Amino acid sequence: MALLTVKQAGGGDHTTIATALAAIGTTPGAGADDIVEVYNGTYLEGILNTLPSGTSWDHPFILRVAAGNTATIRKTGENNIRVYEPTSLAFFSSIDDFIFDGVNLTNDQVSFSAADSSPSSIRLRNPEFINTNNYNAIYVGTFCDDIRIEAPHIHGGDFIGVGNAAGRAHGIYLTGSNCIIEDFHIHDIPGFGVHQYSQHFPLPSNNIIRRGRVHNVGTESHIAAGVLVDSGTGTKVYQVVSYDNLGKDGDGGVGFVIKGAGNQGFNLTAYGNSFIGIDAQGSRSALIKNNIAFNNGQDTDFTGANGNGAPVALDQSNNLIGVDPLFTNPGAGDFTLQAGSPAIDIGTPIDGLAYTGAAPDAGAHERGLATLPVIDIIVTPNPIPPGGSGTVEWDTDGDTVDIPGVGDGLAPTGTAPLPPGQSLVTVQAHNVNGSSIAQQAVGEFAAGLLYRATVGYMPRSIKAGADLSVDNLEIEGLMVDKVRALAQGLLIQGLSNEDLQVGRFDHAKAEIFFVNYENPESRLILPGSGNIGQMKMKRGTYVAELRGKTIYLQQTIGDLYSKLCRAQIGDDITDYRVSGFGCHVRLDPPFWRSLQNYTVRPLYDAAKGSVVKPNVYNGRQFRCSVAGISGFTEPNWNLTIGATTVDEFGGTAEWITEQAMTVFGSVTQAWNKRFFKDAARNEPAVTGLGVNTGTAQYAIRALDQGAKWFEVDGDIASYFTTGTTFTINGSIGNDGTYTTTIASFTGDRTRITVSESIPDEEISGAITAPLTIPTGFFSYGKLTFLTGLNKGISKEVQDFKLAKYTIVDVDDGAKLFMVEGDQTAFFSVGQQFPVTNSTGNDGSYDIVSVTYNMGDDVTEIEVAQAIPDATVDGDILSGPGDFELFERMPFEIAEGDEYVVSAGCDWSKEMCKQKFDNIRNRRAEDEIPGMDIANLSPDRPTA
Amino acid sequence: MKATSAALAQHIDQECTTLAMCVKLILTKYQPAILRIYQVNPCVVETLWAHDYIDGDTIRIVGVRGPTALNNQEFTILRLNNYQFQINVDASGFPAYEGKGEARKVIAFTQFVRDLTLDF
């Protein structure tokens, strides 16, 4: 161990910090147990990749200000401290008690990490940051891990960031993982206090932000938060007060933003923020508990759907919202609770947080706990792997602790290994006022797979042949119906009648083996494996038929010539030996990522080049049009289809906007298990596809002699305009020609009312009508419900139709189309829609504005493109979109059910070319002759 | 006819009667699609719809593009929330997830009179 002193005026080992650090060097671990102590002075030097390292937190390197001294680091140039080399090194270095002055800097005061480096295990203790004029006070980069920032005091400066604007940088910009920010005080800065956000992988996760005060931040930002956690997972924010944040205009201050999957905000106090106290809008499974939000512009926002259109599953409770919590003196920043506060004992226990009384208090300050010991514990790793061991790290303010299984009377701060098998670590600390307890649940991955002793399933027979016959095995009793199982106390976890009815067990892979239960390790002999085929009821129990692997040898596998494409849409099989190989259409492309090389997606071939989707769903995907590298940050996407987005922020790639092939939505009306509507769905079909050709027979499903109507399945109402005649054939007594009075779609069937009488009441025969060819964007696509009774179940879309709005007026000078009534709910600015059946205006248009003209009772749709023809005719296709599924969902579809649906393909050449631009991967032989041609005999030669 | 393994032959020769049949089912239909795989330790998996798994459930990951080392591996999970769970693997060095993965439920039964925990 070495102790080196730095005194500017001489008398120490060194006069500059740089020479002291150089004496130790940057060889990994060279600074273990070494200390460099700095004495009074302003040091016009920085620490730029010269930080020595220790070997563990028990043997760290420490750079600190000597007791009783004040030392300021004020470099001119980029950073006061920058650490990114050696890359991927765990430094175990601590920098303590300095003042960092950014008055002469052009970038972050302290910066950890560069684009692809990952320094970890660096600690800043008791730093003060002043005059942060450019970028952030502290920047923690994407790949950083275990950065510990203890008791920082950050205030003052311009924080000029992106766009050379003040307020675009932040007190602490956190994009690393497994970091701790605690006991912080951030105030009077133009940007956010703590800002955890990144679009780059790995996303910032599992950070702890606790015990802090943030106020009067965002003074140059229109909207600014005291603490923002908006990406990654597993970050916890607790015991933080965020107050009096007003924003630049006095109405944009937010106390906390807690978003992103699985992030947590608890025991927070939000007070006097001009916009929102706690904003969890759109959070997905975030936990918001034990908080106080009072006297904010809007105390909370817990509404909205997340970026994927998936449901909100916010876990929020035990909060005190909009009720005066009787703070002691909020005007002076004292947010402790007075006696009688409605926040007392309304909380729910949180792992690791001590409390007094019957239950924890809401808010950042537990009443009555101030004089009791405060304990911090960290268990690593958490969860502990099977058979592995963990350690507990604890820290109190000088109080001795007892840890069952570890020891009693332990030092106030320390680390110790945990005995195996612990599920709950308990740390108890004592002082003259009493004791307090903190607990941390320790998740543990279960070892191995649990084979449940079921009610005695009976493998009826195992037959395996060498003649490629099917290996058959019926497993009886494996699936017990729920009622019977409950009656016998034999409910099998994970199985239900619903699962069986839905078909979740169909085609399940099955592996069967023997085990010597006296010595389970000495298994295994495999008598059979394969797939579940049929599941049937027999003698009150389910019987599963197992199909052996050799069944595949009895099936025809291989390519045959065909007129229709043999590929499955969206597959990316490249093995020519597999039937149907190679569609390659990117139905669900990967997320855009930073600093990646992207290549041009060429014409005609979806197998090549790059297509990405945004990290926050916006209904679009983007095909690379100019090869290059992506930027540090995701670009601001141009959402107009066909427009170009340049990968800004340091990137060179360029992208063309396309309609997303996979979209999210929710049901706004459902008629039955096959038909439903989404009012927000308005993707038009690809122009030029789906010409209706030929005729088809539609079986009559119902009739009413008195009302004079017939009904047929599906929606073919558009073929029966008033006055249209049609024929009925094959009926018992109604064959003949009829004239349409009116036709309408009833949600399941088309009802055609006729002017002639219907002579026979028997339901028989068929109506001849044009052949319908589904052309909607999602026709033949796969639709999966994300919520509701049908969650996780997929069916194919038979047809997807948009509503048709007849154009009732055109103003070509003002570029207006007008449709009848108030249809503003179904048109939106930026939307593209097609016009069809017009004299001269067929084509695609972009909406500039939508207005309902009450006087004329029309909706005026202003478009960006010129309207070439003033003739008033034609139709506009727009939302709501109607879905018709090929098969019924097993359960009722309900309003509000969320779904995801992908574009479909009808295997035709036209669709492959026009919709997917993928003709080079078409797996069909369009020109082969049909059977009739193939069987023709040549004409007899003439003499 | 399948060949009897040496282990089984030895077992029978010793006239042991301690064999129990086990069945493991890996569901393949309507299983939760994977939306994201976080490059963290332990690995966090996020599904497109609520997965309904609980602590100790076993899943098999299939079809993943990107961190393909996870494919066809079975893991017991720790539930984080409705959409996320942890698996016992360090994914911090894995390539970024590029889609197409599924987290398939694995359930297992034994003919033995008591539950057995086996190494998958």
Rounded to an integer, the average pLDDT of A216-226 is 89
∠ CA A144-A193-A272, rounded to 5°: 150
Note whether A466 contacts B1, CB cutoff 8 Å.
yes
Search chain A and give the residue with CA nearest B49.
Answer: A786
Plot region of A277 (φ>0 → left; ψ -120 to 50 → alpha; else → beta): alpha
pLDDT value of position A162: 67
CB-nearest to A900 from B21, B48, B117 is B48
What SS3 class is residue A594? coil
pLDDT value of position A809: 94
pLDDT value of position A565: 84
Separation of alpha carbons B105 and B59, rounded Å: 5
**Which pair of structure tokens corresponds to residue A369?**
């706990």
* pTM, full prediction: 0.62
Chain B residues within 8 A of A513 when measuring between CB atoms: 21-22
Among the listed residues A465, A391, A396, the one whose alpha carbon sits nearest the alpha carbon of residue A435: A396
Search chain B and give the residue with CA nearest A286.
Answer: B81
pLDDT value of position A552: 63
Instruction: State how far the alpha carbon of A616 is from the alpha carbons of A308, A385, A387, A512, A636, in Å.
Output: 7, 33, 39, 43, 11
Distance from B102 to chain A by nearest Cα, in Å? 12
- Tally the residues of chain A: 943
Radius of gyration, CA atoms only, chain A: 35
A114-118, A575-579, B99-103: which has the minimum mean pLDDT? Answer: A575-579
Q: Quick check: A189 and A221 in contact, CB under 8 A? A: no
Chain B residues within 8 A of A493 when measuring between CB atoms: 107
**Which pair of structure tokens corresponds to residue A688?**
């030029």
Among the listed residues A641, A750, A755, the one whose alpha carbon sits nearest the alpha carbon of residue A700: A750
Whether A231 shows a pLDDT value over 70: the answer reads yes
Give, for A367, the enclosing helix (H) or strand (E). none
Whether A940 shows a pLDDT value over 90: the answer reads no
Interface predicted TM-score (ipTM) of this complex, two decimals: 0.85
Top residue of B25, B28, B120 to mutate, by most chain A CBs within 10 Å, is B25
Whether A360 shows a pLDDT value over 50: the answer reads yes
Q: H/E/C letters for each residue in A657-692?
A: EEECCEEEEECCEECCCCEEEECCCCCCCCCCCCCC
Peptide bond into A342 cis (omega under 30): no
Q: Quick check: A159 and A189 in contact, CB under 8 A? A: yes
Peptide bond into A386 cis (omega under 30): no
Q: H/E/C letters for each residue in A464-502?
A: CCCCCCCCEEEEEEEEECHHHHHHCCCCCCCCCHHHHHH
Higher pLDDT, A200 or A827: A827
Residues A321, A327, A333, A334: is their CA dihedral positive or negative?
Answer: negative
Chain B residues within 8 A of A456 when measuring between CB atoms: 111
Residue A136: pLDDT band (50, 70, 90) is very high
Phi and psi at A101, nearest 5°, equal -110, 120
Separation of alpha carbons A643 and A656, rounded Å: 6
pLDDT value of position A774: 63
Please identify among residues 446-485 of chain A the ones whose CB lies closer than 8 Å to any CB of chain B: 446-454, 456-457, 459, 464-466, 475, 478
Distance from A511 to chain B by nearest Cα, in Å? 5
pLDDT value of position A829: 84
Which residues are within 8 A (CB) of B67 and not within 5 positions of it... i.e. 6 or more apart?
Answer: B37, B39, B91, B94, B95, B96, B97
A421-435, A448-462, A473-487, A833-847: which has the minimum mean pLDDT? Answer: A473-487
Q: What share of chain A has pLDDT > 70, as a percent? A: 82
What SS3 class is residue A530? strand
Chain B residues within 8 A of A502 when measuring between CB atoms: 30
Q: What is the pLDDT of residues A29-78, one digit of tens each?
A: 999 999 999 999 999 999 998 999 999 888 999 999 988 889 999 999 88
Distance from A264 to chain B by nearest Cα, in Å? 11
Whether A437 shows a pLDDT value over 90: the answer reads no
Residues A156, A160, A166, A169: is their CA dihedral positive or negative?
Answer: negative
Distance from A616 to chain B by nearest Cα, in Å? 12
End-to-end CA distance of chain A: 114
Q: Quick check: A918 and A606 in contact, CB under 8 A? A: yes
Q: How far is CA A47 from the centre of its chain?
A: 39
Chain A residues within 8 A of B75 when measuring between CB atoms: 445
Chain A residues within 8 A of B61 when measuring between CB atoms: none
Q: What is the pLDDT of residues A701-751, one digit of tens each?
A: 999 999 999 999 877 877 787 788 888 988 889 999 999 888 888 767 889
Note whether B38 contacts A588, CB cutoff 8 Å.
no
Search chain A and give the residue with CA nearest B25.
Answer: A510
What's the mean pLDDT when you consider all of chain A?
83
pLDDT value of position A397: 77
Distance from A226 to chain B by nearest Cα, in Å? 26
Beta strands A153-155 and B102-110, pairing class: unpaired
Note whether B84 contacts A315, CB cutoff 8 Å.
no
Separation of alpha carbons A832 and A813, rounded Å: 20
Separation of alpha carbons A194 and A218, rounded Å: 11
A617-626, A850-859, A906-915: which has the minimum mean pLDDT? Answer: A906-915
A4-8, A264-268, A518-522, B30-34: which has the minimum mean pLDDT? Answer: A518-522
Peptide bond into B42 cis (omega under 30): yes
pLDDT value of position A477: 47
Amino acid in the structure at residue A818: M
Residue A313: pLDDT band (50, 70, 90) is low
pLDDT value of position A456: 45
Top residue of A177, A284, A384, A451 to mutate, by most chain B CBs within 10 Å, is A451
What's the mean pLDDT when you consider all of chain B?
83
Chain A residues within 8 A of B33 when measuring between CB atoms: 784
Q: What is the pLDDT of residues A647-674, one digit of tens each?
A: 987 789 999 999 999 999 999 989 889 9
Q: What is the pLDDT of residues A493-540, one digit of tens each?
A: 445 667 767 777 778 888 877 887 777 776 665 556 677 766 665 555
Rounded to an integer, the average pLDDT of B82-107 is 88
Radius of gyration, CA atoms only, chain B: 18
Whether A895 shows a pLDDT value over 80: the answer reads yes
Give, for A942, the enclosing helix (H) or strand (E). none
Separation of alpha carbons A803 and A827, rounded Å: 11
Note whether A445 contacts B78, CB cutoff 8 Å.
yes
Whether A617 shows a pLDDT value over 80: the answer reads yes
Note whether B22 contacts A513, CB cutoff 8 Å.
yes
Chain A residues within 8 A of B13 when measuring between CB atoms: none
Residues A399, A405, A408, A410: is their CA dihedral positive or negative?
Answer: negative
Distance from A591 to chain B by nearest Cα, in Å? 7
Q: Does A284 touch chain B (CB under 8 A)?
A: yes
Rounded to an integer, the average pLDDT of A680-708 is 76
Most confident residue range from A92-96, A418-422, A826-830 = A92-96
Instruction: State how far the alpha carbon of A610 is from the alpha carbons of A9, A384, A591, A657, B34, in Å.
Output: 61, 39, 11, 13, 21
Whether A937 shows a pLDDT value over 80: the answer reads no
Burial A581-590 (b: 16+ CB within 10 A, else e): bbbbbbbbbb
Q: What is the pLDDT of residues A621-650, one digit of tens each?
A: 999 999 999 887 788 899 888 899 999 877
Note whether B109 contacts A520, CB cutoff 8 Å.
no
Distance from A377 to chain B by nearest Cα, in Å? 19
CB-nearest to B46 from A177, A261, A503 is A261
In which residue are the tokens 């018709």 written?
A884
Rounded to an integer, the average pLDDT of A142-165 is 86
Separation of alpha carbons A716 and A714, rounded Å: 6
Top residue of B29, B41, B60, B78 to mutate, by most chain A CBs within 10 Å, is B29
Q: What is the pLDDT of residues A785-805, one digit of tens each?
A: 999 999 999 999 988 888 888
pLDDT value of position A717: 79
pLDDT value of position A863: 93
Q: What share of chain A has pLDDT > 90, as a percent? A: 39
Plot region of A485 (φ>0 → left; ψ -120 to 50 → alpha; else → beta): alpha
Separation of alpha carbons A565 and A574, rounded Å: 16
Separation of alpha carbons A255 and A265, rounded Å: 12
Instruction: State how far the alpha carbon of A744 is from the alpha carbons of A109, A713, A721, A751, A886, in Å.
Output: 70, 12, 10, 5, 21
Chain B residues within 8 A of A451 when measuring between CB atoms: 22, 24, 108-110, 112, 115-118
**Which pair of structure tokens corresponds to residue A624?**
């690379």
A311-315, A708-712, A736-740, A898-902: which has the minimum mean pLDDT? Answer: A311-315
Residue A95: pLDDT band (50, 70, 90) is very high
What SS3 class is residue A106? coil
Q: Does A887 touch chain B (CB under 8 A)?
A: no
Among the listed residues A642, A621, A682, the one whose alpha carbon sits nearest the alpha carbon of residue A865: A642
Note whether B76 contacts A447, CB cutoff 8 Å.
yes
Higher pLDDT, A605 or A143: A605
Q: How crowded is residue B32: how many other Cβ atoms within 10 Å of its Cβ?
A: 24
Distance from B38 to chain A by nearest Cα, in Å? 6
Burial A320-333 (b: 16+ CB within 10 A, else e): bbeeebbbeebeee
Among the listed residues A253, A259, A139, the one whose alpha carbon sits nearest the alpha carbon of residue A192: A253
Higher pLDDT, A329 or A785: A785
Q: Does A520 touch chain B (CB under 8 A)?
A: yes
**Which pair of structure tokens corresponds to residue B52?**
């309904």
Whether A692 shows a pLDDT value over 50: the answer reads no
Note whether A451 contacts B110, CB cutoff 8 Å.
yes
Top residue of B2, B5, B10, B23 to mutate, by most chain A CBs within 10 Å, is B23
Search chain A and give the residue with CA nearest B93.
Answer: A202
Distance from A443 to chain B by nearest Cα, in Å? 7
Partners of residue A374 on adjacent β-strands = none
Rounded to an integer, the average pLDDT of A320-327 is 94
pLDDT value of position A311: 41
Separation of alpha carbons A224 and A248, rounded Å: 8
Separation of alpha carbons A39 and A12, rounded Å: 9
Among the listed residues A306, A372, A318, A375, the one whose alpha carbon sits nearest the alpha carbon of residue A343: A318
Burial of A928 (0-12, 13-18, 19+ CB in 10 A): exposed
Beta strands A180-182 and A782-785, pairing class: unpaired
Separation of alpha carbons A250 and A807, rounded Å: 46
Q: To 10 degrees, the CA torsion angle through A557, A559, A561, A564? A: 90
pLDDT value of position A566: 82
